[in-house]
Amino acid sequence: LEAPFALYMADVHAAEPDQVGYIMASLGIVVALFQGAVGRVSSKVGDKAMAMGGLAMLAVGLTLAPIGASLTWLLIALVGSSIGRAFAQPGMLALASRSGDEASTGRRLGVYQSAASLGRILGPTIGGAVYLWVDVSAPFVLAGLLLALALIYWRARWRPIKGGAAP
């Protein structure tokens, strides 16, 4: 979201850089506020359900964000996706940390962090290219659809590892 977002805001909503900064800061505050509820949500529904629900909210929010013509619609969708991110990231990290035997925890978390870093490298690169070559809305929709596909695949393939996290 972050890389093409400033371009999108300038091109579609004529936003200045400081306005984009305020929006991004506000979305960060939303994430921080909702991450404060992660422990309670996780204890009620479990890490898997929390992570999957968060990913679903993130996917829907990103996909719907550019569809409405108004800035209000965009911001509502982005707040929804930010809430989803607040629950998805800790849930996935918790699942990764408990999804196997204790001896391989460091390796699993290392792979998880490496994949996240790769996403932070490839995401802006692909998002910028899609923004320029396809459409200004395309990075949002592509990200949302990729998240939805990953969620569907994860749901279909989920098999808890013996001694690991429960489904």
| Higher pLDDT, residue 161 or 10 | 10
pTM score of the predicted model? 0.87
Render pLDDT for 37-52 as a digit per residue (tens, 0 to 9).
999 999 999 999 999 9
Render pLDDT for 76-114 as a digit per residue (tens, 0 to 9).
999 999 999 999 999 999 988 887 788 888 888 999 899
Q: Where residue 161 falls among pLDDT bands split at 50, 70, 90?
A: low
Cα dihedral 85, 71, 141, 137 sign: negative
User: What is the per-residue pLDDT for 105?
Assistant: 85
The CA-atom distances, in angstroms, between 60 and each of 51, 54, 135 are 14, 10, 19
Q: How far is 128 from 8, CA to CA, in rounded Å?
A: 10
Model confidence at 69: pLDDT above 80: no
| Higher pLDDT, residue 60 or 165 | 60
Tell me the percentage of the chain whose pLDDT exceeds 70: 95
Tell me the percentage of the chain whose pLDDT exceeds 90: 74
Please, what is the average pLDDT of the chain?
A: 90
Model confidence at 16: pLDDT above 60: yes
Model confidence at 134: pLDDT above 90: yes
